[in-house]
Amino acid sequence: MVASPRALITGITGQDGWYLAKHLLELGHEVVGTSHREGVNALEVEGSSVRVVTLADTLQPTLRALLAVERPELVFNLAARASSAQLFDDPLATAEVNGLQVASWLEAIRLESPQTRFCQASSSEIFAGAAVSPQDETTRPVPCSAYGAAKAYADHLVNAYRRTHGLFACSAVLYPHESPRRPVHFLMRKVTHSAARIAAGLDRGLALGDLDATRDWGYAADYMEALRLMLAAKDPEDFVIASGGAHTVRDVCQVAFARVGLDFREHVTTDPRFQRPKEAVPRIGDAKRARETLGWAPSLSFEQLVDLLVDADCAALR
């Protein structure tokens, strides 16, 4: 029997890291993670304990040493400044973590372990200023924030190392993806969490920004499966990973509050302070390449995803 490749997941303690680790462990992979947090030595993933290595820095010598010790065949780079509140709050830190850190990984792999396959978790924020919708792998990146610009820079690096040095390196342009493990300051979780609390009598209302803002939401577990499929493919390619469905914030509120037997219109208000600048076109992803090349497809509909989150939030309050 051929052993499953050993995988290293950066930023393993976040939502995506947990779901990716779970998926890989179920397939028999040996998994190790990294974190910048001191004192995090292991991550519990449904009965399995995944070892976590603390990285004091992400300079190339440190990463080369890590590769020499761990010898991973797969590296999934999920580490990033990822909060929606950090799109432009500290451009230098964002450039360092989301951009230059990717350069360190690629160069370390080139010098120390060129056979290692590398997947970069990119973001639909690279298309924030796009003029066409839906967006796919041929859409020109037009980032409108430091976060998106750093992600676009990382994608260009991945392409350059793939073309120039022959590395198996690829970027997954991930559209918003949710789960019960998503922090509550992200919009869909904010809504489902509030619906559960209001239904339980713990809160009275929820203030949001533009209820007509459109997004393409999917399930985090599905998107992490796509990353694994990308590194299992014959050739390295970049992929847009998205549901392809266009839904408004109003849709999220309607489904979430209906799940707990409430009319969102009686509890949700709008506040201009929470509004983001309107986009020229809806940011919706076309994942046709992933469906046809990888055989990937979302497992949950939009309504099923919202119901899953609401049910989890209600259960957490019991």
4 annotated active-site: no
CB 233 within 8 A of CB 289: no
On the question of a cis peptide bond just before residue 282, with omega within 30 degrees of 0, the verdict is: no
Residue 227 is which amino acid?
L
Q: Tell which residue, 123, 229, 230, 81, has the closest CA to residue 169.
A: 230
The one catalytic residue in 70, 73, 125, 225 is: 125
CA gap 261, 196 in Å, rounded: 10
CB 152 within 8 A of CB 143: yes
By three-state DSSP, how is residue 287 classified?
A: coil
147 annotated active-site: yes
Please say whether the dihedral angle defined by the alpha carbons of residues 161, 163, 165 and 171, taken in this order, is positive or negative.
Answer: positive
The one catalytic residue in 35, 73, 124, 147 is: 147
Give CA 298 to chain center in angstroms: 15
Residue 104 to residues 31, 107, 155, Cα–Cα distance (Å): 21, 5, 13
219 annotated active-site: no
DSSP 169-215: EEEEEEPPEE-TTS-TTSHHHHHHHHHHHHHTTS---EEES-TT-EE
185 φψ region: left (φ > 0), alpha (ψ -120 to 50), beta (else): alpha
The one catalytic residue in 35, 123, 179, 194 is: 123
DSSP 24-87: HHHTT--EEEEESSTT--EEEETTEEEEEEE-S---HHHHHHHHHHH--SEEEE--S---GGGS
Catalytic residue list: 123, 125, 147
